[in-house]
Amino acid sequence: MFASPTISLLIEPPANQEFTELYILGPNHTFEDIPFNIKAKVNYSVYLGVVNHMEASSYYTSFVKITNQTDSLPNANLGTPSQLPALYEFKSFISDGGIWEVPLTFRVNELAFVDGTSRISSITINGIELSVNQTSEWNSDKTGYYYNLFVELWIYNSSLGISQFHNRFVSLLLNMTQ
């Protein structure tokens, strides 16, 4: 255990390992202040970031989506994106080793609670109001109405001339409160 830092100096990671980092940080650029308990008509802000380690410049598209606890998230094992429609998208061009970071603000505009169900009818993302129709049943084990606001990362494949799901996504678990 004590030798681990010394060993890491002697062992180099494999060369030519191409990957992309995708992250969400809270408004103070930390994990500790990421929004969780969400109220209607309150603005929340996080930072969305992408770091390119693809050994070449790349075009990325980040799709923002929202799901309840029964809709599907992307499947990392199969490498397939969620079938839910994108609410918002960011496009970026990042050189190798480059970092792209942008504020992602959101606000639940219309939120109703009826008979053990919550319903989001409208959400604003980066100043654009969007209609949504997402419901969540009361989760008695975790005592809340849970949704995921998530971001899928797609990368442009110049050989095929299309953008493809890059098997990366980050998710914010949100508990709707009154």
Mean pLDDT for all residues in the chain: 91
Looking at residue 142, its pLDDT comes to 85
What is 83-142 written as a DSSP string? SSPPSEEEEEEE-TT-EEEEEEEEEEEEEEEETTEEEEEEEEETTEEEEEEEEEE-BTTT
Residue 107: closest CA among 178, 15, 39, 28: 39
Band of pLDDT at residue 3, cut at 50, 70 and 90? very low
Give dist(CA 86, CA 132) in Å, integer. 11
pLDDT in tens, 91-117: 999 999 999 999 999 999 999 999 999
In the predicted model, what is the mean pLDDT of residues 43-53?
Answer: 98
